[in-house]
Amino acid sequence: MDYLRIQGPTKLQGTVVISGAKNAALPLITLALLAHNKVTMTNMPEVADIKTLLKLLQNLGASYNLENHTLTIDTSTVNHTMANYDIVKTMRASILVLGPLLARFGHCEVSLPGGCAIGQRPIDLHLKALEQMGAEITIHAGYVHAVAPEGLKGAHIVFDKITVTGTANIVMAAALAHGKTVIQNAAREPEVVQLCEILRDSGIDISGIGTSELVIIGTGGKTIDMIDFEVIPDRIEAGTYLCAAAITDSSITLENVRPDHLDAVTAKLEHMGCTFELGETTMTIHPAQKLKPVDIITQEYPAFPTDMQAQFMALAVRANGASTIEERLFENRFMHVSELQRLGAEIKLSGHTATVIGACELFGADVMATDLRASSALVLAGMAAEGTTNVHRIYHLDRGYENLEQKLRALGATIDRLKE
């Protein structure tokens, strides 16, 4: 197993190119299941989660080629409709095949994703919405069996909670359904917006894009002529590099970024004293003279993203004063707290709120990555800590950060990937 060795404290400088957004690319790849043509997607992040999903689609019968961040995928040969436990258990986002497979074939069997480190993460809202669209769903032996022999039909869906992959699944199902689907309380994340835009540009009648009410007129079972496109930049990777600059008191420039997707993140960094120069696709961050504490509540887009919570916790450890961080989306997303404490952080937990004492001296130690974003928080803290930090179990990190250590090394960090 690989681990990262970081020598701190470190200063960063220079430019980092942000990769395509993993969370945009995942539903866009499953969207190809609705297409009858070969599709080319550029700016594809080459991270483990993407490779896992491509393997799943290959198991279903699709063929693809991923080279130099360009994916061509052809799903016209798909002849299986079962997503096996072996793959789904490694990546919950595999559930994104459910809506498209059911819409295209009228039946499918998808393994239940089960719990994960950051919480229970049920899929009840996906299933309920598909049932409203006429699907018959049974759960047997760990699998969701879904059938809609006459095809799915449009419905009026009101999500009880805002769900990102739930919205994506239902948007894709609705695209091939018979008639009109209205989705209320839809997710407005940029990744969902891109999915809707690609569907619209591929000829689907979809309105309300970017709002919490989407209206989709389905094709009645006809597959779509999907356009080629470029995946949007990864706002979470970008936010992580902004935190890397802030925690090391450094100035760096991000390229291939969408500053408007990061408003909630830059607002908090500005509050902490960082300053920015923004271009259309570039961002330069300058460090705070004296890092101020911050109060954060994680919520759905456009509010502060839960996927940036751990990185800000690492940063808050260095702030001059106490910060509070309230996690509203996932019940168990504080597992990085005890690892940050191993590095010297003072953090008190009370229910869903962490109070970070701040102004802590950090000292290198062995720490364990517990989930994708927690891993990057430990890398950030390691760069600010005095001495050597070893971050173990970095397979979490490889799921969503492309070449993290190469990118950080190019910015001047002393970071190496070693074998246990």
Q: What residue ranges bind ligand UD1 (CB under 6 A)?
A: 23, 26, 92-93, 119, 121-126, 161, 163-166, 191, 306-307, 329-330
In terms of CB distance, is 69 or 328 closer to ligand UD1? 328
CB of 334 to ligand UD1, least distance (A): 14
**Distance, CA of 319 to CA of 240 (rounded, Å):** 17
**Distance, CA of 293 to CA of 268 (rounded, Å):** 10
CB of 346 to ligand UD1, least distance (A): 26
CB of 163 to ligand UD1, least distance (A): 3
In terms of CB distance, is 163 or 266 closer to ligand UD1? 163
> Which positions ≥6 away from 350 have C-beta within 8 Å?
none
> Which positions ≥6 away from 10 have C-beta within 8 Å?
248, 383, 384, 412, 413, 414
In terms of CB distance, is 92 or 200 closer to ligand UD1? 92
Q: What is the C-alpha end-to-end distance of the chain, expressed in Å?
A: 6
203, amino acid identity: G
SS3 349: strand
Neighbours of 332 (CB within 10 A): 16
Strands 275-278 and 282-286: antiparallel
CB of 307 to ligand UD1, least distance (A): 5
Q: Environment class of residue 211 by beta-carbon count within 10 Å: exposed (0-12), middle (13-18) or buried (19+)? A: exposed
Bridge partners (DSSP) listed for residue 15: 253
CB of 116 to ligand UD1, least distance (A): 9
In terms of CB distance, is 330 or 401 closer to ligand UD1? 330
360 is annotated as an active-site residue: no
In terms of CB distance, is 161 or 222 closer to ligand UD1? 161
CB of 308 to ligand UD1, least distance (A): 10
Catalytic residue among 116, 196, 274, 360: 116
Whether 108 contacts 82, CB under 8 Å? yes
Largest CA distance in the chain: 64
SS3 167: helix
In terms of CB distance, is 74 or 234 closer to ligand UD1? 234
Whether 412 contacts 13, CB under 8 Å? yes
* DSSP designation for 272: T
- Positions annotated as catalytic residues are 116
